[in-house]
Amino acid sequence: QKEVEQNSGPLSVPEGAIASLNCTYSDRVSQSFFWYRQYSGKSPELIMSIYSNGDKEDGRFTAQLNKASQYVSLLIRDSQPSDSATYLCAVMKASNTGKLIFGQGTTLQVKP
Amino acid sequence: DVKVTQSSRYLVKRTGEKVFLECVQDMDHENMFWYRQDPGLGLRLIYFSYDVKMKEKGDIPEGYSVSREKKERFSLILESASTNQTSMYLCASSDYRDPFNFGPGTRLTVL
């Protein structure tokens, strides 16, 4: 079992729709959770971080964390073609010195 | 903003060459990391360092070594480059105040 799992996609949504990206993790002691966006040929950029159960909103992005279910998700409202990218889920364990474990990423395509 | 820079965006080397990839960060971060990214395999940790002169093996350290002589600089060394080391190499830094920030990446091709 991979430590961090994501559906590779592609996930295709029409412009203006809500895109829902999901991620599960295996280690219950994980403490911090991150979503990165990566455009083709570019390096990942941090878009959201979440540390406690519940929802965290930032503009059109909402991160949701459920530690009991070991599940973290990213919702993108009013999806735009510019949101088309690969989204990487990353998990930090409490015991690690800042090391992040990454999922393989979900490719999102937003169609005009 | 944290700035992480890498010495080259694109690099072409020959099999057997010794290759140095340099990474510099300007935010006084303790932690620095080297990942490689390959299609279908995702991001895999090669080495990381949480202090000057300290290093820890990641998931795929074979064929690589690292050097951290100064806090701001973390170098990845391919002792004898091989074709299976053709990849995108990403450096990152972090500390307790700032989460991971990646450099722009170096796309290495080994012929």
pLDDT (0 to 100) of residue B11: 96
Overall average pLDDT of the A76-102 stretch: 88
Confidence bin at A13 (pLDDT 50/70/90):
very high
Q: Which residues pair with B91 in a beta bridge?
A: B34
Measured in degrees and rounded to the nearest 5, phi and psi for residue B74 equal: -135, 115
Give the tens place of pLDDT for each residue, B28-76: 999 999 999 998 888 999 999 999 988 999 999 999 999 999 999 999 9
Q: Tell whether B20 is within 8 A of chain A (Cβ).
A: no
Closest-CA residue to A42 (of B48, B28, B37, B76)? B37
Burial B21-48 (b: 16+ CB within 10 A, else e): bbbbbeeebbbbbbbbbeeeebbebbbb
Q: Which residues pair with A19 in a beta bridge?
A: A76
**Cα–Cα–Cα angle for A68, A74, A79, rounded to 5 degrees:** 160
Calpha distance A76→B93 (Å, rounded): 27
pLDDT score for A95: 58
Neighboring chain A residues of B31 at a CB cutoff of 8 Å = 97-99
Provide the percentage of residues in chain B whose pLDDT is more than 90: 79
Q: For residue A96, what pLDDT band results from cuts at 50, 70 and 90?
A: low
What does the pLDDT read at residue A97? 63
B35, B42, B104: residue with CB nearest A104: B42
Task: Say whether residue B31 is in contact with chain A using an 8 A CB cutoff.
Answer: yes
Residues from chain B that touch A45, judged by Cβ atoms under 8 A, are 102
Model confidence band, residue A29 (pLDDT cutoffs 50, 70, 90): confident
Task: Concatenate the DSSP letters of all residues of A38-56 into one string.
Answer: E-TTS--EEEEEE-SSEEE
Mean pLDDT of chain A: 92
Q: How many CB atoms lie within 10 A of CB B97?
A: 9
Residue type, B40: G
Three-state secondary-structure class, residue B2: coil
Q: Quick one: pLDDT band at residue B1, thresholds 50, 70, 90?
A: low
For A56, counting Cβ atoms within 10 Å of its Cβ (0-12 exposed, 13-18 middle, 19+ buried), the class is: middle
Is the pLDDT at A76 greater than 70, yes or no? Answer: yes
The secondary element (H helix, E strand) that includes residue A73 is strand A71-76
Q: How sure is the predictor about B99, in pLDDT bands with cuts at 50, 70 and 90?
A: confident
pLDDT winner (highest mean) among A26-30, A48-52, B106-110: B106-110
The Cα–Cα gap between B68 and B32 comes to: 9
pLDDT at B2: 60
Backbone φ/ψ region at B49: left (φ over 0), alpha (ψ -120 to 50), beta: beta
- Confidence at residue A75, expressed as pLDDT on a 0 to 100 scale: 98
- Chain B residue numbers with beta carbons less than 8 Å from the beta carbon of A36 are 100
Position A47 scores a pLDDT of 94
Tokens of residue B109, six digits: 């091709």
Question: CB–CB of B48 and A49 under 8 A?
Answer: no
pLDDT for residue B24 is more than 90: yes
pLDDT value at residue A30: 84
